[in-house]
């Protein structure tokens, strides 16, 4: 067995920690034991939101230089949310590369840093589902719908919830 890279050792450690003490509403781990860089995740929709009762499938793809660079989180199938691109890719500060934001929307301390963890990422995504940031939207149509027609936005999200449960 070849020696593990720093990234592989870190991912294995994080997986062990998540397995021992998983946060409520989150299941995550490597898609298979031969590749620690691709994880499958199941995230419960947060209570008292349109996403409540949903169980959403996502993947985390880690770069080879993790934890120096952030992973990418993508919902499959995509769900409607102002901070999720139409292809399902999540856009939140914690997943943006470290350092200063070239657009000056985020402070450096809000962006990725090697002290972050898979658990913190997934908890941040659950929080994002509960509290969208339409000022920094990834899906402009979802931002407009959330802002201008909340009833229709919530109706569509509830359809996503039903799909997530195969109903």
Residues serving a catalytic function are 91
* Cβ contact 45:79 at 8 Å: no
Q: Contact at 8 Å (CB) between 23 and 123?
A: yes
How far CA 108 is from CA of 102, 103, 157, in Å, comes to 10, 12, 32
C-alpha 64/C-alpha 104 separation (Å) is 27
Among 66, 42, 76, smallest CA distance to 115 is for: 66
């Amino acid at each position: 067995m070849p020696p593990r890279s720093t990234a592989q050792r870190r991912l294995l450690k994080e997986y062990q920690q998540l397995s021992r003490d998983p946060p409520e509403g989150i299941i995550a781990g490597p898609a298979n034991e031969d590749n620690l860089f691709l994880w499958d995740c199941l995230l419960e929709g947060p209570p008292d939101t349109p996403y409540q009762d949903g169980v959403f499938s996502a993947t985390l793809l880690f770069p080879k230089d993790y934890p120096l660079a952030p992973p990418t989180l993508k919902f499959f199938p995509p769900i409607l949310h102002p901070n999720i691109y139409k292809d399902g890719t999540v856009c939140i500060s914690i997943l943006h590369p470290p350092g200063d934001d070239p657009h000056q929307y985020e402070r450096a301390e809000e962006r990725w840093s090697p002290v972050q963890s898979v658990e913190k990422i997934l908890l941040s995504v659950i929080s994002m589902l509960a509290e969208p940031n339409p000022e920094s939207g990834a899906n402009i149509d979802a931002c407009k719908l959330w802002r201008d027609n909340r009833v229709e936005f919530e109706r569509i999200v509830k359809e996503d919830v039903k799909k997530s449960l195969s109903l």
